[in-house]
């Protein structure tokens, strides 16, 4: 083949390839620009430091040691000196992270639903995710020149907090990985240090949940973090699955085109018009007594299916949290207390799940998963992990996801909450190398965003991550819509007893019991909710600085 013929062949590539390239190039350019901005800020900071030290330190040293040799530095020597003779070169491209001196970091991890690290080099990978889990740690160790030693435990919290082997006495750990519920326990026992004090932690990076510092900082301190760094967080993200075959059977596209002037579900989402009332409308008329037993059950076709634990999303999808903070003062979100907001919401959700046959509130997670896996539900509100555990294995099931629908088109963003049980990362307050640990954590998180998240989505999408840009964008949108709420994470502090968890139980119970008036659900607990400040003050009082 001639070179000219080759080039002419390339000139006739599918136009989709050129479009994909142009889009990807623009995305990467934006990402690089963001990186460069932070590097520039780093350079400016470095220049200021150099200036300040040359103004202050040099005269001080010359006063202390007139004519003598400079004293040997007694500074922390854990960071290798990476300076070169050509300082201008260093300023042009400073390394974002330092190299360390082969230190060993001790990590403690609870055994979670999905592993956060594959610790056997000769493991047998079951999916591409396993390989990336191993590579993530390997890459981070190599980049920073450190080693990690992982200790895993499947013991219950109680065993770990009491007795001679209690984790509270363990001074060796640098990083702790646990589920969100246990993290609150550890935090209030003073086991975590404030992540916002470490210079290499960067919560601007998309590997961290966007709502972390805004919603979970306690008195301007953040004790644990999660986001794409956590495989379990991605797995527990709430999304709305839809059945592609039922979309055709039930003429969903036609309904969208006729009623809302958009082409399909994806365009509805992209235009910001994907709302709860539209999902309910599209679910209407889907019910079919497939097993002909004249009773609505899991064998029938329906428009929407979910289970109780997911119901909270109907509230959060309005863009609300249950608790808001304005610095040191926290309060219950006004929407959570107002009948004007909650009554119409309950009417819509209860109408879908109880009054109509088109929506089903299944008795448990498995029943809801089975209904969707068997192709019986048009929409299913569930966690991303359902695709991993169930849907991807059903060859005949064609599915994708949408974000949780908004309450109104005027809302700025889609919103949902991850189901509890995701993993969070905290730096042990007893660690004697917290700066190294925090640097490791930041690199680890960024690497997760680069390799773990795409690998996971590839598996959830049955290998179509790279091939199907529309589906991919929707998965990304649906997962990124998941935010954190202090009222949910610290739920055990909202109520008179640690098991009340009022900020997570009240709305769910109102839906489960088909309560019509929100006042019936919340009024008995208003006095208790009003005590939030006291409960929170008690929690903050025991936290380390």
Partner 1 sequence: MGLQRRTGARVPMEDEQIVALYWQRDEKAIEETDFKYKTYLLSIAYRILNDSLDCEECLNDTYLGTWNAIPPARPNLFKAFLTTVLRRIAVNRYHSNRRKKQIPSEMTVSLSELEEFLADDADVERAFDSMQLGRVISAYLYSLSERRRFIFMSRYYMAEPIDAIARDLNVSRSTVNKELAAIRVGLKKTLEKEGYNV
User: Which stretches of the chain bind partner 1, using CB under 8 A?
Assistant: 1-15, 17-25, 28-29, 32, 35, 450, 465-467
Sign of the alpha-carbon torsion through 209, 489, 365, 313: negative
Query: What is the spatial distance between Cα 400 and Cα 541, in angstroms, rounded to a whole number?
Result: 46
Can you list the alpha helix ranges (DSSP code H) found in 81-127? 87-92
Q: Which is nearer to partner 1, 136 or 301 (CB)?
A: 136
Would you give the DSSP letter of residue 164?
Answer: T
Q: How far is the CB of 398 from partner 1 (least distance, A)?
A: 19
- Rounded to 10°, the helix 252-260/276-283 angle is 130
Q: Which is nearer to partner 1, 13 or 60 (CB)?
A: 13
Q: How far is the CB of 95 from partner 1 (least distance, A)?
A: 13
Q: How far is the CB of 134 from partner 1 (least distance, A)?
A: 18
- Rounded to 10°, the helix 469-480/453-460 angle is 120
Q: Which is nearer to partner 1, 21 or 123 (CB)?
A: 21
Q: Which is nearer to partner 1, 16 or 164 (CB)?
A: 16
Q: Which is nearer to partner 1, 103 or 476 (CB)?
A: 476
Residue labelled with tokens 């908004």:
406
Let me know: does 290 contact 299? Beta carbons within 8 Å.
Answer: yes
Q: How far is the CB of 7 from partner 1 (least distance, A)?
A: 5
Q: How far is the CB of 93 from partner 1 (least distance, A)?
A: 11
Q: How far is the CB of 235 from partner 1 (least distance, A)?
A: 22
Residue labelled with tokens 């959830």:
460
Q: How far is the CB of 1 from partner 1 (least distance, A)?
A: 6
Q: Which of 418, 404, 416, 415 is nearest to 278 (CA)?
A: 404
Q: Which is nearer to partner 1, 320 or 475 (CB)?
A: 475
Q: Which is nearer to partner 1, 5 or 71 (CB)?
A: 5
Query: What is the spatial distance between Cα 522 and Cα 524, in angstroms, rounded to a whole number?
Result: 6
Tell me, letter by letter, the H, E, C secondary structure of 342-359. HHHHHHHHHHHHHHCCCE
The encoded tokens of residue 485 equal 């709420």
Q: Which is nearer to partner 1, 350 or 442 (CB)?
A: 442
Q: Which is nearer to partner 1, 143 or 539 (CB)?
A: 143
Query: What is the spatial distance between Cα 135 and Cα 142, in angstroms, rounded to a whole number?
Result: 10
Q: How far is the CB of 39 from partner 1 (least distance, A)?
A: 12
Distances (CA, A) of 296 to 293, 304, 364, 376: 8, 13, 16, 12
Let me know: does 484 contact 245? Beta carbons within 8 Å.
Answer: no
Let me know: does 362 contact 371? Beta carbons within 8 Å.
Answer: yes
Let me know: does 188 contact 539? Beta carbons within 8 Å.
Answer: yes
Q: How far is the CB of 450 from partner 1 (least distance, A)?
A: 8
Q: How far is the CB of 30 from partner 1 (least distance, A)?
A: 11
Half-sphere exposure of 3 (CA within 13 A, CB side): 0
Q: How far is the CB of 14 from partner 1 (least distance, A)?
A: 4
Q: CB-based burial of residue 8 (10 Å sphere; 0-12 exposed, 13-18 middle, 19+ buried)?
A: exposed
Q: Which is nearer to partner 1, 11 or 412 (CB)?
A: 11
Q: Which is nearer to partner 1, 14 or 69 (CB)?
A: 14
Q: How many other CB atoms are found less than 10 A from the CB of residue 379?
A: 29
Buried-exposed string 96-105: b where 16+ CB fall within 10 A, e elsewhere: bebebeebeb
């Amino acid at each position: 083949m001639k070179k000219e013929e080759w080039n002419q062949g390339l000139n006739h590539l599918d136009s989709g390839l050129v479009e994909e390239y142009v889009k990807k190039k623009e995305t990467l350019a934006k990402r690089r620009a963001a990186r460069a901005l932070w590097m520039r800020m780093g350079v400016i900071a470095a220049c200021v430091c150099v200036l300040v030290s040359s103004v202050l330190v040099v005269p001080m040293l010359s006063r202390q040691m007139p004519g003598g040799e400079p004293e040997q530095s007694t500074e922390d020597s854990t960071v290798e000196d990476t300076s070169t003779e050509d300082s201008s070169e260093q300023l042009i491209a400073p390394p974002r992270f330092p190299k360390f001196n082969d230190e060993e970091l001790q990590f403690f991890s609870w055994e979670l639903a999905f592993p956060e690290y594959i610790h056997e080099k000769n493991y047998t990978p079951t999916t591409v995710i396993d390989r990336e889990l191993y590579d993530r740690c390997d890459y981070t160790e190599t980049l920073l020149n450190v080693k990690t030693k992982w200790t895993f435990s499947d013991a219950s919290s109680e065993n770990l907090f009491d007795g001679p082997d209690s984790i509270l006495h363990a001074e060796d750990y640098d990083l702790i990985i646990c589920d969100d519920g246990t993290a609150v326990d550890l935090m209030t026992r003073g086991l975590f240090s404030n992540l916002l004090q470490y210079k290499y932690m960067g919560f601007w990076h998309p590997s961290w949940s966007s709502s972390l510092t805004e919603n979970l900082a306690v008195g301007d301190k953040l004790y644990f973090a999660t986001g794409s760094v956590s495989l379990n967080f991605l797995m527990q993200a709430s999304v709305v699955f839809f059945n592609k075959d039922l979309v055709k059977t039930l003429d969903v596209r036609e309904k969208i085109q006729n009623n809302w002037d958009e082409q399909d579900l994806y365009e509805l989402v992209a235009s910001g018009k994907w709302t709860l009332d539209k999902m309910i409308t599209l679910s209407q008329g889907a019910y079919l007594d497939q097993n002909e037993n004249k009773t609505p059950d899991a064998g029938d076709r329906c428009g929407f299916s979910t289970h109780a634990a997911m119901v909270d999303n109907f509230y959060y999808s309005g863009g609300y949290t249950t608790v808001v903070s304005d610095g040191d003062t926290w309060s219950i979100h006004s929407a959570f207390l107002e009948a004007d907001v909650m009554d119409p919401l309950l009417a819509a959700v209860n109408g879908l799940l109880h009054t109509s046959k088109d929506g089903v509130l299944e008795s448990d997670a498995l029943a809801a998963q089975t209904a969707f896996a068997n192709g019986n539900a048009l929409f299913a509100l569930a966690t991303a992990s359902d695709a991993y555990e169930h849907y991807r294995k059903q060859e005949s099931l064609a599915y994708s996801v949408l974000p949780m629908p908004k309450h109104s088109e005027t809302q700025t963003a889609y919103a949902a909450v991850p189901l509890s049980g995701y993993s969070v990362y905290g730096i042990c307050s007893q660690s004697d190398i917290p700066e190294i640990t925090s640097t490791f954590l930041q690199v680890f998180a960024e690497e997760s965003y680069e390799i773990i998240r795409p690998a996971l989505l590839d598996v959830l999408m049955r290998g179509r991550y790279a091939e199907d840009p529309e589906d991919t964008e929707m998965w990304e949108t649906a997962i990124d819509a998941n935010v954190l709420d202090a009222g949910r994470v610290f739920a055990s502090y909202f109520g008179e007893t640690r098991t009340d968890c009022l900020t997570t139980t009240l709305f769910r119970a109102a839906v489960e019991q088909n309560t019509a008036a929100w006042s019936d659900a919340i009024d008995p607990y208003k006095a208790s909710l009003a005590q939030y400040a006291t409960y929170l003050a008690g929690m903050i009082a025991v936290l380390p600085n």
